[in-house]
Structure 1
Amino acid sequence: MRHAPSPDHLVPGMSDRRPKRRGRRVLAVLLAVVLVLLVAVAGAVAYVTSSIGNDISRIPDAFRGLDAGSRPAAFGGTTFLLVGTDSRADVPTTGAAADPEADAGSQRSDVIMLGTVAPDGQSGSVVSIPRDSWVDLPGRGPSKINAAYAYGGAPLLIGTVERLTGIRVDHFGVIDFAGFTSLVDSVGGIDVTVARPTSNAGVDFAAGQNHLDGTQALAYVRQRYDLPNGDLDRASRQQNAIKALLQAVQQKATTDPGAVYSFATSVGDAVSVDDSLSNTGLVQLAVQTRHLRGPDLAFVTAPVSGLGREGEQSVVYLDDAQGADLWSAVRNGSVTQYADLHPADTLSDTPS
């Protein structure tokens, strides 16, 4: 099955106010700040995490206006809401290089993931939520979930995801196209396995293993058409790229700590996180997750019951019953067991 193209206008007149430059569309991949920077780097360079933290851009008031009494209860783990935005701005929008005047709330969240570390720091999960999921936005009613960031920035998206999942979001992170490209290049590229030959943005992907630099990796994760399941397959590619980046960083951590430190410092130029994640918090997470490795992470996609249309929009309908099982598994640290029961929603070794 394949998605029909989604409409460009989440907010009336939005694209009329910003130039349509295809080359400035922002990354369709989320980079889990903890799962990449801390999990992969902690064992080798935890002692410099605090200094690295000084270079990471902070997002002010990401939880502004959320009613503490109505939010889901904490379950002991640490959960990040991780966003890749679809910006049309002509300047960087995330990381230390971001224009301070950039209006983050005017961007669409092209990809949404929950990255969770279990309370004991021994396992974790990355769950993709399809960007076209038809959900209830607090105070606005039914809409695509990727409209939440455009309508209300981080607070509305956080509130929407918490209502959908029943999982409390502890931290918020965002990355853009240029940031992802530079991170892939900083580790010398990534290796991904492709199920069958495809092409996108002038890049050919052969069946089997492909070594990709940053520009090629961006084409890989942005491909949507010529994939059997459209956006759902693209979400798998995005997870696959994150997993490959983790593996590349972990390999360097055992052979060249200096190169890993260089990668870690580049994170500050690529990502932004909420301002409640202090340098002390970064160090604590580094210690907590120092033994966590890629094989300890489960990569799944929120279950889908079908595709359809709402007016002129192509949408994804989530499976509420199976979704309840998934969100419960996230809370109790049993996503691996959930993945075993639902292989169709689990990242395969050779995604399309």
Structure 2
Amino acid sequence: MRVEKRKKKKKKKRTWLRITGAVLLLLIFGAGAYGYSVYKSFTNAVEAMHHPIDRKTSEKRKEQVALEKKQPFSVLMLGVDERKGDRGRSDTIIVLTVNPNKNSVKMLSIPRDTRTEIVGKGTEDKINHAYAFGGVEMSIATVENFLDIPIDYYMQINMEGFKDILDAVGGVTVNNDLDFTYEGVHFPKGEITLNGEKALKFSRMRYDDPRGDYGRQLRQREIIQAVIKEGASLSTLTNYDEIFKALGSNVKTNLTFDEMVQIQKNYKTAGNHIEQMTIKGNGTRINGVFYLIVSDKEKQRVQSELKKHLELN
């Protein structure tokens, strides 16, 4: 029973990271045009979120990415459940690549159990252990090595703050194509409005969906698109202070205010086209520990797609 509860909790965290990522992308891409009052609130939030790391340029890049030249860039999103006296682990790992020339964002979820080299530790282990061993810096180095692409920026998200962030944008309205009931909540077909808690349940159900996990992914995309639409609407502007406070309290990033302004100026419309990617592997046990083994062929497929989107030679 306890194992089942822990699994449900991990699934909840992964879902909320995708939703929070969409909200944060929206704010970066669109916040610059909302006037002085919003500007002031946004700068305060950015100041609270800004946590630079001792790493100026990726080893996978010859020169630092130039946002003013509209060069494609990447972001590593880490969903972390921090505990007192313990750094915790990044149970959710998502890589975003943003290309203004193709006007799109690619979003890749890396399974936490993926076995890979932990760069700086000299061992192979689950990829999410990199954060426990060496924090954000080791996580970036390990993900770069695994995907063979540069990681330009990071966002670390406190998993406990998700409901506050989604509720701050006033909930979301989605078009539901499947009538179902999940954890005591009925979701009828058609247009429905969801608060943070209901949106989570809407995203989690898959066993009663004839499409399985594919159906769940469709609902998650519905929520991401609805968050962007809701955030861009005039009604949400009345909650901007609450939105920024929720982000400032739950997000850390090495993005500076000036860099966010450049992204808003040069990459604004890319956030409207988010494509989700998946990486496949086979589960196995090594010395009694479960790992996901990703084949070289699958890694090359994903690496090639991300490199192309980042316009790397």
TM range (shorter): 0.7 to 0.9
Q: By how many angstroms is 1:165 displaced?
A: 0.9
Consecutive unaligned residues in structure 2, runs of 5 or more: 66-70
Map of 1:273 onto structure 2: 252
Map of 1:160 onto structure 2: 142
CA distance 1:165–1:176, change in 2 (3 Å): same
**C-alpha distance in structure 2 between counterparts of 1:282 and 1:50, whole Å:** 14
Q: Is structure 2 residue 192 aligned with structure 1 residue 215?
A: no
Query: TM-score, structure 1 length as denominator?
Result: 0.67
The answer to whether the Cα contact below 8 Å between 1:249 and 1:260 also exists between their aligned partners in 2 is no
Consecutive unaligned residues in structure 1, runs of 5 or more: 9-21, 90-101, 336-352
CA distance 1:231–1:141, change in 2 (3 Å): farther
**C-alpha distance in structure 2 between counterparts of 1:141 and 1:35, whole Å:** 34
Partner residue of 1:112 out of 93, 117, 121: 93
Alignment of 1:1-352 (within 5 A): 28-30=15-17, 31-32=20-21, 34-44=24-34, 48-49=38-39, 51-56=41-46, 57-58=48-49, 60-62=51-53, 64=54, 70-73=59-62, 76-87=71-82, 89=83, 106-120=87-101, 122-138=103-119, 139-192=121-174, 193=176, 197=180, 199-200=182-183, 203=185, 205=187, 210-220=192-202, 241-250=223-232, 252=233, 255-256=234-235, 258-259=237-238, 261-262=240-241, 264-274=243-253, 276-294=254-272, 296-301=273-278, 303-333=279-309
Deviations 1:212-239 (A, max 9, x none): 2112234455668878999998777656
Query: TM-score, structure 2 length as denominator?
Result: 0.74
Deviations 1:43-75 (A, max 9, x none): 54599446513223346453x3x6957445567
**C-alpha distance in structure 1 between counterparts of 2:217 and 2:129, whole Å:** 18
CA distance 1:167–1:305, change in 2 (3 Å): same
**C-alpha distance in structure 2 between counterparts of 1:263 and 1:330, whole Å:** 34
**C-alpha distance in structure 2 between counterparts of 1:207 and 1:257, whole Å:** 25
Paired letter, 1:300: M
SS in 2 for 1:273: strand
Question: Percent identity of the aligned residues?
Answer: 25
Q: Decide which structure has greater helix share.
A: 2
Paired letter, 2:259: G
Q: How many residues align?
A: 294
Paired letter, 1:156: M
The answer to whether the Cα contact below 8 Å between 2:74 and 2:151 also exists between their aligned partners in 1 is yes
SS in 2 for 1:106: coil
Q: By how many angstroms is 1:124 displaced?
A: 1.6
**C-alpha distance in structure 2 between counterparts of 1:239 and 1:141, whole Å:** 36
